[in-house]
Chains A and B, each alone.
Chain A
Amino acid sequence: MYGNSWDEDRAMDLLNQLEAILESDPLIDEVGFIHPSQFVTLCKEGGESGDSSEDDVLGPRNTKFWNRDHKLGISTEVLLPLCKAAKGAFMDAMKQYRTLNSLSNNKHEHENIMYGSLSRQSFDSEIMKHSRALLLLSCDFGTAWNSRKLVVSKKQQLAMLMDELLLSALVLSYSPKSEQAWSHRRWVIKMIAGKCSTMPEIITKESELVEKIAERSKMNYRAWNHRCWLVSYMTREQMLHELKKSRDWAGLHVADNSCFHYRRRLMLGILKNSCCKQECDDSSYDVENYQVVKEELDWNEVLIKRYVGREALWLHRRFLSQCSISHLTMNMHGISSQSEQKTSMDNEISIFMHNELCLLNSCSTIQDMEFEDFQAQAMYSAIYYLWLIKLIPQFRESEVQVKLKAGNLKTILHKTCPERSFLWDFLDLNGSL
C-alpha cells in the first residue's frame, strides 16, 4: 500500500487548487457543492460557450472545481479530503502563529522589528488564506472565524473589514443559517461603526442581504435576528423607510413569522423613539405613530381574508391590537379632565372592538369542512378573540361576546381544536362564555 501520505499529498494538492481559485477571483459571491454527475454537465456547458477562463488556473480537465461568472462549484467527491486538508493547514498555521506571538512577547522589542514584522506579515496571510478555504467547507468552525478577527483587528483597515463582509456573505450563500457567519458580520459592523461615516449605507445593504437570503431560506431565524439587530443602528426615518420597504415582501410571505416580527420590531422602535421625542413637546409624532399601527392593522385584515388560516397573520394581529388599545387608553388617561375628548376616545375604542367582532364573525364560520384552511381560520379567529378578552379588560367587561353568529366561542373551539386543553381551563375561569 502507498499509505496515507499519498492521499494527503493529493488532498494538499486539492487545497492548493482551491486557494488558487479564491486568490485569482476575489469577487466570487456564491459557492455550492455539486455532485460529480452534475459536474460533467456543467463543465461541458462551460466548454461549449467558448469562455474557458477557468482553464487558466485549473487546466481543461478539472472535474473537482468549477468557477465561472464569480460562482464556485466544488465536487462533493472531494469534500472530505479537502476539508481535512484545510483544517490541517489552518491548525498548523495557527500553531506557528501562536509560537511566534509567544516568542515576540519574550524577546526584546528591537530584535523583532526586522525579523518580526516580515515574518508576521507572511503568517498573517497564511492564516487568512487557510481560514478562508476552511470556512467555505466548514462554516461554523469558530476558531477560524476568530483567527480572522485577530488579524483584522490588528490592522484596523476599512478595506479588510469590508472583505470580511464579503467572505461572510459567501459562506452564507451556501449555509444561510450559519450562526458564526452572521455573528462575524456583527463584529465587523461594530468595528466599522466607530470609524466610518457610511454606516447608514452599510445598514441598508445589510438589510437587503437579509432579504435576499430570506428569499431562499424560509423562516431563517438567524437571518431575521440579524435584521432586527440592525434596527438599533437606525434613525426614525430609516425605520419608517424599512417598514415601507419590507411590506411587499411580507405580503408575499404571509407564513413567515420572522418577517412580521421584524415589522413589530420596527414599529416598537418608532413608538419608543417618539416617546423620547415627546418629552421635547412634539405631539405630532403621536398621531403619526398611531397611523402607522392603524395602517398595519387594516392591511393585516386584508391579508387575513386573502390568505385563509395563517397563524403568523393572526399572531401579528394580537400585537397590533395590543398597541392600538394601549395607545387609545394611554391617551384617555392624559385627557381625563376634558370630557369631549374622552368621549371621542371611548368612541374610538368601541369602534375598534366592533371591528374585531365583525372580523371574528366573518372568519369563524366554517364555509367548508373539507378544507383544513377554513377550520384553521375559525380556530385562529376564536383564539384571537379569547386572547383579546384575556389581555384587554374592555373586552371582558363588554357584552359584545354574546353576539356571535357561529354560536359561542366554546362551540367554535370545541369544533376546531379539541386537543388544546389550556383553552378550556381559561374558558372555565371566565365561566360566562
Chain B
Amino acid sequence: MGELAVEKHVEYILAVEKRKDSFESVVMDHLRLNGAYWGLTTLDLLGKLDTVNADEVISWIMKCQHESGGFAGNIGHDPHILYTVSAVQVLALFNKLDVLDIDKVATYITGLQNEDGSFSGDMWGEVDTRFSYIAICCLSILRRLDKINVEKAVNYIVSCKNLDGGFGCTPGGESHAGQIFCCVGALAITGSLHHVDKDLLGWWLCERQVKSGGLNGRPEKLPDVCYSWWVLSSLIMIDRVHWIDKGKLFKFILDCQDVENGGISDRPDDAVDVFHTYFGVAGLSLLEYPGLKAIDPAYALPVDVVNRIFFSADN
C-alpha cells in the first residue's frame, strides 16, 4: 500500500484553480464556489491552507453574494442554497465569518423553509433533503438555528426514511448514501439521531463495501471514492463504523491517487478531479490517516474549525 502523496495533491489543487481554458472548467464555472470549498478544505486537512491568498478568495466570495442574502456559484449567477453553504464553510475555514451580514444570510435560508418543514433550494421551489441538511448545517454554523422550525424540519427528514433504514430526496425516494449523509447529518446537528434505526441503517451502509474494499452509494453500483466520505461519515455518526473493513478501504482510496501529477479519482486509474480529491482526503481523515487534520463528520469541516466556531471565547 502506497502513502498519501501530500505534496502532489497540494500542487494539483493549486494548479486546477489556474486552468481556466478547458471545456471542463468552462462548464463547471457556475459552481466554482463548490469547487473552492472542495479544494480549500482539502488544503486545510493537509495542513496547507496558508498557501492560498485568503483576502483574494474572500473578496471574490463576497462578490458572489446576491441582494437576497444567498450566494451564487460564481459572480453574476443566481443564488442557491448549495452555494450558500460553500460560502459559509469557506469563510469558516479562514475564520472570517465576521465579514458576513449573518442575519441577512440567515434570513435567506429561513425564507426557503416550506410549510411541511422541508427546504427549497432556491426561489424556484425544488425540494430535497440535501437542502434540509444545508439549511441546518449553515444556520448552526451561523448560530441561528432558532430562526427555523426545527421540529418540522426534523419531521420532514424522518418522513423520507425508507423501510431499508436509508433516506431519499423526498418521501418515497430511493435510499442513496449521499442523501443518507445529509439526513443523518441534519439529525445529528439537531440532536435527533434517535429517529434513526442504527442497526438497520448501519447494515445497509456496510453492504455498500464491495470486494475491492471501496464503497458504493447504492446496491449493484461500482465503488467510488466519494462514498468513502458519505458512507463513512454516516457510519461514524450512528456509531457503527467498526462494522466495515477499514484496512481495505484505506487501500482502495490510496490506489485512486495519481501519484505522479497529484489528485484522486473515483476509481483506480480513472482521471482525477477536485471533487474526488476532497472526498478521498476527507475519507482518509475519517479513517485517522496519520498527519491529516481530523474532519467533523456532520459539518464536513476540520474539527478545529468547528471547535473554533462553537467554543471560542467571544461566542
Contacts and interface: CB of A to CB of B under 8 A. Distances in A.
Interface stretch (A16-24, A251-259, A353-361): A251-259
A257 B169 CA distance: 16
B245 A419 contact: yes
Interface residues of B, number: 46
A232 B116 CA distance: 15
Interface of B: 21-23, 26-27, 29-31, 72-73, 76-78, 80, 122, 124-126, 163-164, 168-170, 172-176, 199-200, 202-203, 206-207, 209, 211, 218-221, 240, 242-245, 248
Contacts of A143: 30, 72, 76-78
Interface string A121-143: 00000000000000001101111
Interface in A248-284: 255-258, 261, 264-265, 268-269
A319 B72 CA distance: 41
B27 A83 contact: yes
Which of A83, A142, A146, A257 has the largest count of B CB atoms less than 10 A from its CB? A142
Contact of B244 (A140, A149, A187, A422): A422
A225 B168 CA distance: 9
Nearest to A319: B163
B243 A422 contact: yes
B contact patch SS: loop
Interface residues of A, number: 54
Interface of A: 79-80, 83-84, 87, 91, 94-95, 137-138, 140-143, 146, 149, 183, 186-187, 190, 219, 221, 224-225, 228-229, 231-232, 255-258, 261, 264-265, 268-269, 310-312, 315, 318-319, 322, 383, 387, 390-391, 419-422, 425-426
Which of B77, B78, B122, B172 has the largest count of A CB atoms less than 10 A from its CB? B172
A352 to B, nearest CB: 17
A contact patch SS: helix
Given A225-B169, A315-B219, A421-B245, 19 more contacts: A83-B27, A87-B26, A140-B27, A141-B27, A225-B173, A225-B174, A228-B168, A228-B174, A229-B170, A255-B220, A265-B172, A269-B172, A312-B220, A390-B199, A419-B209, A420-B209, A422-B243, A425-B243, A426-B199
Contacts of B22: 80
A333 to B, nearest CB: 20
Given A142-B73, A311-B220, A422-B206, A186 B172 contact: no
Contact of B164 (A84, A258, A318, A390): A318
Contacts of B245: 419-421
The 5 residue pairs across chains A and B that have the minimum distance between CB atoms: A422-B243, A261-B174, A257-B219, A143-B78, A138-B27
B126 A183 contact: yes
B174 A137 contact: no
A257 B26 contact: no
Nearest to B175: A261
B218 A84 contact: no
A264 B78 CA distance: 37
Nearest to B245: A419
Contacts of A420: 206-207, 209, 243, 245
B242 A221 contact: no
Contacts of B220: 219, 255-257, 310-312
Contact of A187 (B125, B174, B203, B207): B125
A318 B163 CA distance: 9
Contacts of B80: 142
B30 A311 contact: no
Nearest to A257: B219
